[in-house]
Structures are given as structure tokens and as C-alpha cells.
Amino acid sequence: MIWQNFIDQTLKPIQVSDTISDIKLAFKASKFNHLPVFKKGVFKGSVNVNDLLELQQTSTLSEFKYLVEVFYAESHKTTLDLIHEFANHQTNLLPILDTDKNYVGVVKLEDVLDLFGETPFVANEGEVMILRKERTKFAFSEVAQLIETLNARFSGMYISKLSEEFVEVTVKVEHQGINEILQTFRRYEYQIASEHPEDLFAEDLKEHSDYLNKYLDI
């Protein structure tokens, strides 16, 4: 299912001419932290409920135009684009515009997250690994090749952290023995940033550490 099927056109937007009191009532009737704002049928942006707390109840929103934030997603964008907008603006309601910047409706964060949860990366069984390597030595093709040589199945991979020195990728695979994959990546100079009960390397380090501590206590 595509996220466009979740566009809600029934939400009643607020107007810049509405009083702060009326807008607060609209927020109280909803579960959203932002609501879209219109002026004479034209989308102007969204307002955050927290920005209204100290305002005079009888004032109108038009007196506080600086509180209207302009953010939205266009109807041709991907699910990941939407998640980025939700996170970037700390909102749980995202206005949707068409390519001509006409208002289409809104999408709820919970609907997009539910849809993302149905993707193979999230829904499929498998092991999630976080791999770290020097940026100049990292290549997606190498990660894919190493996994495929071990007859493991990819569910997905994305860059979860990026700096000038290192690249950190989160990888999900379907495989019977994750330890074999972990050791293979270590041989190719990858660090394993995630924890795995089946990781014999980590267990060996713990045993050596315990032995050293006992030796130093003698």
C-alpha cells in the first residue's frame, strides 16, 4: 500500500482569522501538536499548540503570523521523505501539497510509521547488525558482496551514522549463523557496533578480560 492512500481530507483546518481561544479548542478536540492554517482558502503553514499557551484568548492568529511554520510534503514524495519531514519539524501531522502547491490534505505520523513497519526491512525476520568502517574504505557493494557470499538474504541496509572519519550502516539479514557473518566482516576491517548473543568474538574478549582481572587480583 502507498502512503498517498492515507491522506486525510476531512480535517477542518484553522483560519488566521480564528481567535486563540477557538484554535485551542480545535487542538483539544484533536491529538495533534500542529494544525494547518489557511487564509481565504490558501494554505499558509501550520501552527504548534505549544506556541499558543501564553497568548491572549481573544486575539486572532493573524496578530501572530510569525508563529505559522511553513512545512509540508509534496504528494509525489516517498515514505522516507515524509519520515524526514515529521522528524525535522517534530510534528505528528504533515500537510500534503500537490506539484502546484495546492493543499491536498494531511497525513498522520502513526499511519506513515505503520506503513513503514510493513516494509521487509522492518517486518521480515532477521538479524540487525551495525557495521562501522573508515569512510575512505567503505563501499556498499562490498557489504552486499560479503553477505551474498555467505548465502545470506538482504532485507535492507541504510547509513545510520556518518562522520568525516567513519561510516556506520545498519544491515538486516536472514541467516542461520550470524557469528559467521560477524567474523567475516571483522576480517575485512569492519567494526561491529551492535551486540549479538551469538558473537563468539565478544565472548572470547569477555573471557580474556575476566582471566586478566583474576590474574591482577592475585
Residue 205: predicted pLDDT: 46
Region 40-60 average pLDDT: 95
Q: Examine the domain organization and report whether 139 and 188 are in the same domain.
A: yes
Determine contact, residues 7/96, Cβ cutoff 8 Å. yes
CA atoms of 191 and 141, how far apart (whole Å): 17
Q: How many structural domains is the chain composed of?
A: 2
- Please give the order of strands across the beta sheet that includes 127-134: 153-162, 166-174, 127-134, 191-192
Q: Examine the domain organization and report whether 39 and 84 are in the same domain.
A: yes
In-domain check, residue 55: yes
Identity of the highest mean pLDDT range in 15-19, 75-79, 201-205, 208-212: 15-19
Q: Which residue has the cell 538474504?
A: 153
pLDDT of 211 higher than 70: no
| Residue 160 dihedral angles phi and psi, to the nearest 5° | -100, -15
Residue 126: predicted pLDDT: 85
Q: Examine the domain organization and report whether 67 and 132 are in the same domain.
A: no
| Residue 36 dihedral angles phi and psi, to the nearest 5° | -70, 145
Q: Examine the domain organization and report whether 86 and 43 are in the same domain.
A: yes
The overall average pLDDT reported for the chain is 88
Region 49-66 average pLDDT: 95
- Please give the torsion angle defined by the CA atoms of residues 190, 194, 196 and 201, in that order, rounded to the nearest 10 degrees: 40
One-letter amino acid of 174: E
Q: Examine the domain organization and report whether 139 and 95 are in the same domain.
A: no
Q: Examine the domain organization and report whether 26 and 102 are in the same domain.
A: yes
Residue 20: predicted pLDDT: 96
The share of the chain scoring above pLDDT 90, in percent, equals: 68
107 by Cβ neighbours in 10 Å (0-12 / 13-18 / 19+) ranks as buried
Residue 208: predicted pLDDT: 41
CA atoms of 60 and 21, how far apart (whole Å): 9
Please list, in sequence order, all residues whose beta carbon lies within 8 angstroms of the beta carbon of residue 122, skipping any fewer than 6 positions away.
116
106 by Cβ neighbours in 10 Å (0-12 / 13-18 / 19+) ranks as buried
Residue 125: predicted pLDDT: 82
pTM score, whole prediction: 0.73
One-letter amino acid of 50: N
Region 183-209 average pLDDT: 74
CA atoms of 106 and 128, how far apart (whole Å): 33
In-domain check, residue 203: no
Q: Of 116, 131, 149, which residue constitutes the final position of a domain?
A: 116
pLDDT for 161-194, tens place per residue? 999 999 999 999 987 778 889 999 999 999 999 9
3-class DSSP assignment, residue 7: coil
Residue 117: predicted pLDDT: 83
pLDDT for 96-150, tens place per residue? 999 999 999 999 999 999 988 888 778 778 889 999 999 999 999 999 999 989 8
Region 88-95 average pLDDT: 96
